[in-house]
C-alpha cells in the first residue's frame, strides 16, 4: 500500500501587514545604526545608534502631561527642568539627575510616552518622512527601544483597535453621546471618558484632559462606541428627499386640450 505524505497546512496569519515594515526608511536607519531625527506627518522619532530614544506627536499627550496630571511630579518642577533643557527628553534626564523624580516612575512614564507617540508617528501618511542626521539624540539613562519592538507594538495596537470597533472615525472626530437606553454598563475608567464627551472634544483631547495616554483612550472610546454609548460627529449632511425636476412642457395640442379639460373637471 502506498502512503501519501501531505505537508502540514501553513499556520494562519492574522494580518499580512505584520509581515511588512511600517516604515522602510526607519528599518534602513536602524540597520545603519543612525543617529538623528525622523520627521513624519503625524509625529517625530528620535534615534540614537539605530534605537528609538524618544517620540513626540501632536496627537499624544507629552511626557510633561503624563508626569504632572496625577501628581507624580509637581508642575513647577517640570517647568524648572524645561526652562533649563532643549527638549522634553533632556528635561526628563535633568529631573532624574537632580533627584526630583524617582528613576522607576520616570522610566515608566517615558516608555508610555514613547510608545504612545510612536503609534501615531508610524500611522499611514500622505507625505514621505524626512530624516535629519543629528548627534543630539543619544543613549542616555532613560530606556530606549529597538525599531522592531516599536513597529511590532504599533501593529498590535492597530489590530486591537480593529477588533474592538472597525470604524476609525471615532479616533479623530468630535464625539457625542448615543442612545443611553440601549447602552451597556461602563467601567469607572470608561465613565471618566464618557463624562467628557460633549460634541466638541475628540478622543485625543479627552486623553490630554485626563492626563492619559492617547492610545488607551482610543481603546476606551472604541469600546464605548461598540457598546452604543458614543458616536462620532460626521460632516455628512442629513439625508433629505431629493427635489424632483419639473415636468417637461407639453407641446402636443391634443394632450394640452386633455389637460385643460382635466383641470376644469377637477376644479368643479
Shared-domain flag, residues 106 and 189 = no
- Return d(Cα 165, Cα 160) in angstroms, integer: 9
Q: 190 pLDDT exceeds 70?
A: yes
Do 135 and 51 share a domain, yes or no?
yes
Q: Indicate whether 134 and 187 sit together in one domain.
A: no
pLDDT band for position 184 (50/70/90)?
A: confident
Average pLDDT, the chain: 85
- Report pLDDT digits (tens) over 228-256: 999 999 755 444 444 445 555 555 555 56
**What phi and psi, each to the nearest 5 degrees, are found at residue 40?**
-125, 170
How many distinct structural domains can be found in the chain? 2
Domain-located, residue 93: yes
Identify the CA nearest to 56 among candidates 75, 39, 80, 35.
39
**pLDDT-derived band at 173, boundaries 50, 70, 90:** very high
Is residue 195 in some structural domain? yes
Q: Are residues 91 and 133 in the same domain?
A: yes
**Domain edge (last residue) among 113, 132, 163:** 163
**Can you say whether the dihedral through the CA atoms of 195, 196, 200, 204 is positive or negative?**
negative
- Which residues, 6+ apart, have CB-to-CB distance to 180 below 8 Å? 229
Least confident interval from 2-11, 17-26, 53-62, 216-225: 2-11
Same domain, 76 and 154: yes
Range of the domain at 217: 165-232
Q: Is residue 266 in a domain?
A: no
Average pLDDT estimate for 19-46: 91
Asked if 179 and 228 sit in the same domain, the reply is yes
- As a whole-number percent, the residues of the chain with pLDDT over 90 amount to 71
- 26 with 121, same domain: the answer is yes
Q: How far is CA 243 from the centre of its chain?
A: 40
The rounded percent of the chain whose pLDDT value lies above 70 is 78
Residues 110 and 158 in one domain: yes
* Helix 88-98 with 103-121: angle, nearest 10 deg: 170
Asked if residue 175 and residue 141 are part of one domain, the reply reads: no
Residue 143: name the closest of 123, 121, 113, 117 by CA.
113
Q: 101 and 181, same structural domain?
A: no
Whether 136 and 178 map to the same domain: the answer is: no
Q: 115 and 57 in one domain? A: yes
Amino acid at each position: 500500500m502506498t502512503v501519501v505524505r501531505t505537508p502540514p497546512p501553513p499556520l494562519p496569519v492574522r494580518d499580512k501587514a505584520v509581515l511588512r515594515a511600517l516604515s522602510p526608511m526607519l528599518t534602513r536607519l536602524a540597520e545603519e545604526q543612525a543617529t538623528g531625527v525622523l520627521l513624519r506627518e503625524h509625529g517625530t522619532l528620535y534615534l540614537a545608534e539605530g534605537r528609538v530614544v524618544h517620540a513626540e506627536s501632536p496627537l499624544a499627550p507629552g511626557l510633561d502631561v503624563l508626569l504632572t496630571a496625577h501628581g507624580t511630579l509637581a508642575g513647577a518642577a517640570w517647568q524648572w527642568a524645561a526652562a533649563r533643557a532643549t527638549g522634553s527628553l533632556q528635561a526628563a534626564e535633568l529631573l532624574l539627575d537632580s533627584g526630583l523624580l524617582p528613576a522607576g516612575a520616570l522610566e515608566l512614564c517615558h516608555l508610555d510616552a514613547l510608545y504612545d507617540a510612536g503609534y501615531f508617528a508610524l500611522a499611514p501618511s500622505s507625505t514621505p518622512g524626512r530624516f535629519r542626521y543629528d548627534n543630539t539624540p543619544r543613549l542616555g539613562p532613560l530606556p530606549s527601544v529597538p525599531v522592531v519592538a516599536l513597529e511590532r507594538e504599533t501593529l498590535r495596537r492597530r489590530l486591537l483597535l480593529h477588533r474592538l470597533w472597525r470604524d476609525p472615525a471615532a479616533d479623530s472626530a468630535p464625539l457625542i453621546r448615543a442612545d443611553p437606553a440601549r447602552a451597556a454598563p461602563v467601567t469607572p475608567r470608561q465613565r471618566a471618558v464618557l463624562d467628557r464627551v460633549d460634541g466638541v472634544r475628540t478622543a485625543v483631547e479627552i486623553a490630554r484632559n485626563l492626563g492619559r495616554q492617547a492610545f488607551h483612550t482610543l481603546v476606551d472610546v472604541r469600546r464605548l462606541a461598540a457598546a452604543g454609548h458614543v458616536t462620532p460627529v460626521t460632516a455628512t449632511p442629513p439625508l433629505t428627499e431629493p427635489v424632483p425636476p419639473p415636468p417637461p412642457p407639453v407641446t402636443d395640442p391634443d394632450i394640452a386640450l386633455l389637460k385643460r379639460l382635466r383641470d376644469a373637471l377637477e376644479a368643479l
